[in-house]
Structure 1
Amino acid sequence: MSTSFQTVIDNRRSVREFESKPIPDELIAQIIKNISKCPTAGNLHSYYILVVKDPSMRTKIAELSFSQMWIAQAPVVLLFFADLSCAIKKYGKRGKERYAFTDSNIACSYAQLTVDNLGLKSCWVGAFDEDGINELCGLGRNYIATSVLPIGYSN
Structure 2
Amino acid sequence: MTKDVMDAIRDRRSIRKFKPEPLPPATVSRILEAALWAPSAGNLQPWKFYAVYSQSKKEEIMKAALDQKVLAEAPLIVVVCADTSIARSRYGERGEKLYCLQDTAAAVQNMLLAATAFGVGSLWIGAFQEEVVKKILEIQGELRPVAIIALGYGEMEPNQPSRRSLAETVYVVE
Task: Please state which band the TM-score falls in when normalised by the shorter chain.
Answer: over 0.9
- CA–CA distance in 1 between the matches of 2:96 and 2:85? 7
Report the alpha carbon displacement of residue 141 of structure 1 after superposing the two structures with TM.
4.4
Equivalent residue for 1:111?
Answer: 111
- SS of 1:17 mapped into structure 2: coil
Structure 1 runs of 4+ with >4 Å offset: none
8 Å contact from structure 2 (residues 70, 150) kept in 1: no
- Aligned-pair identity in percent equals 28
Q: Is residue 2:123 matched to residue 1:123? A: yes
- CA–CA distance in 1 between the matches of 2:139 and 2:75? 23
Question: After alignment, is 140-149 or 105-114 more displaced?
Answer: 140-149
Equivalent residue for 1:34?
Answer: 34
Report the alpha carbon displacement of residue 31 of structure 1 after superposing the two structures with TM.
1.0
- The one-letter code of the counterpart of 2:88 is I
Report the alpha carbon displacement of residue 53 of structure 1 after superposing the two structures with TM.
0.7
Alignment of 1:1-155 (within 5 A): 1-155=1-155
| TM-score of the aligned structures, taking structure 1 as reference length | 0.96
Q: Mark the runs of 5 or more structure 2 residues left unpaired by the alignment.
A: 156-174
Q: Mark the runs of 5 or more structure 1 residues left unpaired by the alignment.
A: none
Can you list the C-alpha shifts for 1:43-96, whole angstroms capped at 9, x where unaligned?
000111111111111111111101111211000001111101111111111111
- SS of 2:124 mapped into structure 1: coil
Number of equivalences: 155
**Higher alpha-carbon Rg:** 2
- The one-letter code of the counterpart of 1:45 is Q
